[in-house]
Amino acid sequence: MGKAGREGFGQALLELGSENEKVVALCADLAESVKVHYFAEKYPEKYFQIGIAEQDMIGTAAGLALSDFVPFATTYAVFAAQRANEQIRLAVCYNQANVKIATSHAGLTCGEDGATHQALEDIASMRAMPEMTVLVPADADEAYEATKASAEYDGPVYLRLGRVPVPALTKGVGNFEIGKARKMREGKDATIIACGIMVERALLASEILAVQGIEVTVINMHTIKPIDEEAIIQEARKTGCIVTAEEHSIIGGLGGAVAEVLAENHPVPQLRVGTKDTFGESGPPEELLEKYGLTSEKIVEVTKQAMSKKNNVNV
């Protein structure tokens, strides 16, 4: 088993401590959970514990950014994107403040803590904000690269990190670049566009489909905003049907972003794998993913449905 996205983040942030003198970090009482503790232990003077006060943490991070530092504000996805939503809007985005909001425990794989802690709407709310860049890395290596790229990029970034380990998938798959999708597999029959932990599941689905004689492209859409429109349009032209897969509500996240691009540029059948209009619940991550339809088997099934819609259109 590989590492969790949050581990890649923690390692990259630790390195940034010596590579970039402007990088500082803040946390709201979840230092070890979000893996900011490596940085905190090595650079205590550049680490600010704010306590259980996420709204204050975001504002404080904005003040540091407006004073030319590059702050990484860390907590769980639900407490940043949702608890501190308006602080992110005003103090970070409207101010064009160079704040990086790094959140872990996003999605169902937050697990036993239950629906209260499982952010399934955070991509939608962050994506809607002007100035915001939204990154959802697929594995620890990509989280590492996304963290480094965020520090280089000048502007607000929402970095969504997973809690559970994911096998290494992205090492050697070209360079990581914000806004540039990564093609993980090439096929002509359908295209699966995934982000976060669902990239692994999309690749597993592609193997199952290949055995059945169906060749699909798998796109790792690590940047939800600005989304790689060119890659989406190209795939729509090539395979003629799209499946999106995300550990997030099907409303407003990756699926929504892809649908917007398709509708305005090259409409083709699209189906969305993700949580429906619902909250999650307590349970082991794997069982939750199974119950809410975020599995490779589900992606296989939905991909075939999308292909049949394509055929119907052609008739």
Cβ proximity to other proteins: between 60 and 220 the closer is 60
Asked if 109 contacts 162 with a C-beta cutoff of 8 angstroms, the reply is: yes
Cβ proximity to other proteins: between 45 and 277 the closer is 45
Pairing mode, if any, of strands 242-249 and 190-194?
parallel
Nearest distance from residue 55's CB to other proteins, in Å? 5
Nearest distance from residue 76's CB to other proteins, in Å? 17
Residues lying near other proteins in the complex (CB under 8 A) are found at: 24, 45-46, 48, 50-51, 53, 55-69, 71, 86-87, 90-91, 94-96
Nearest distance from residue 59's CB to other proteins, in Å? 3
Cβ proximity to other proteins: between 4 and 151 the closer is 151
Cβ proximity to other proteins: between 24 and 193 the closer is 24
Distance CA 140, CA 247 (A): 16
Question: What's phi and psi for 135, nearest 5 deg?
Answer: -120, 135
Nearest distance from residue 36's CB to other proteins, in Å? 16
Cβ proximity to other proteins: between 46 and 309 the closer is 46
**175 CB-near residues (< 8 Å, 6+ apart):** none
Find the largest Cα–Cα distance for the chain.
Answer: 66
Distance of CA 314 to the CA centre of its chain: 34
Q: Which of 1, 223, 242, 52 is nearest to 127 (CA)?
A: 223
Nearest distance from residue 124's CB to other proteins, in Å? 21
